[in-house]
Structure 1
């Protein structure tokens, strides 16, 4: 199948960790992820029901190998000075935004250029997006995962 790009936006809150955890919860509850064993291409009698917990999801061998092609493949928010590892999401700092895109406070209009930030498979990024007055309005998460 190959890796999939994914992106999400949530209303701004000061606690990035809480925003990240809330987003993961929402994606799981809304079934907004790839669940191969229950995919519509399978005959109905061969489909497995959607998992009732993340533990059940990750216990499935196919998910362990292929992932979910979503933020659910990312397990931990790291600090801006931490080295990224598989399964982590790293925030964009104002300094990085200035260096890469020429602006300290990013807006929704900057999103198409986010490919210029470093990114790898099985790794995510997040950035606070501001309105025209420079007030934070949303947190944008994006990354690539899945096989």
Structure 2
């Protein structure tokens, strides 16, 4: 199975779960707002064959937030369709701080995509997106302005 990567920045709404739900509402409206295929997210999720085989290639493929920073395991069915916080030590490695800004996140994502385009066999992906190895999952990073959490960055992969 191939996977499609995605990344989003959205305002922080008091928790990762609330931020995820609001972002999913926005993405659903963009992708399915005409109501021709699905009129609600619940209806989309009810199409299990589509969701489990193909997916939306977006944050809509995520069903819940996991608060653990332990890496997801392919052998654990409960780890699929989740996002979790990127461990603070990994945030520090990628951003040089545990309080990255929106600009730092966007720069790290851009560098990740540039690495993917230049990738050669044998290269080790040490970019931010390289943190993500398991399909149908993702991570989130809290983003700051003046030491206050203002946004959240979600990244991962899903879909064929």
TM-score where L is the length of structure 2: 0.69
Distance, in Å, in 2 between the alignment partners of 1:17 and 1:56 is 20
Contact kept? 1:94, 1:105, Cα under 8 Å: no
Contact kept? 1:98, 1:104, Cα under 8 Å: yes
Aligned to 1:139: 152
List 4+ stretches of structure 1 deviating above 4 A: none
- SS of residue paired to 2:23: helix
- SS of residue paired to 1:18: helix
Aligned to 1:77: 65
Aligned to 1:45: none
Aligned to 2:139: 125
Distance verdict in 2 for CA 1:19–1:29, change over 3 Å: same
Distance verdict in 2 for CA 1:64–1:95, change over 3 Å: closer
Contact kept? 2:138, 2:156, Cα under 8 Å: yes
Contact kept? 1:119, 1:125, Cα under 8 Å: no
Aligned to 1:40: none
Q: Which runs of 5+ in 2 are unaligned?
A: 73-78, 110-126
Distance, in Å, in 1 between the alignment partners of 2:90 and 2:9 is 20
Aligned to 1:109: 104
Choose the corresponding residue for 1:87, options 75, 78, 81: 81
Q: Deviations over 1:49-76 (max 9, x none)?
A: 2211223223433343101111111101
Task: Return the index of the structure with the highest Cα Rg.
Answer: 1
Distance verdict in 2 for CA 1:116–1:94, change over 3 Å: same
Aligned to 1:37: none
Q: Which runs of 5+ in 1 are unaligned?
A: 34-47
Aligned to 2:12: 12
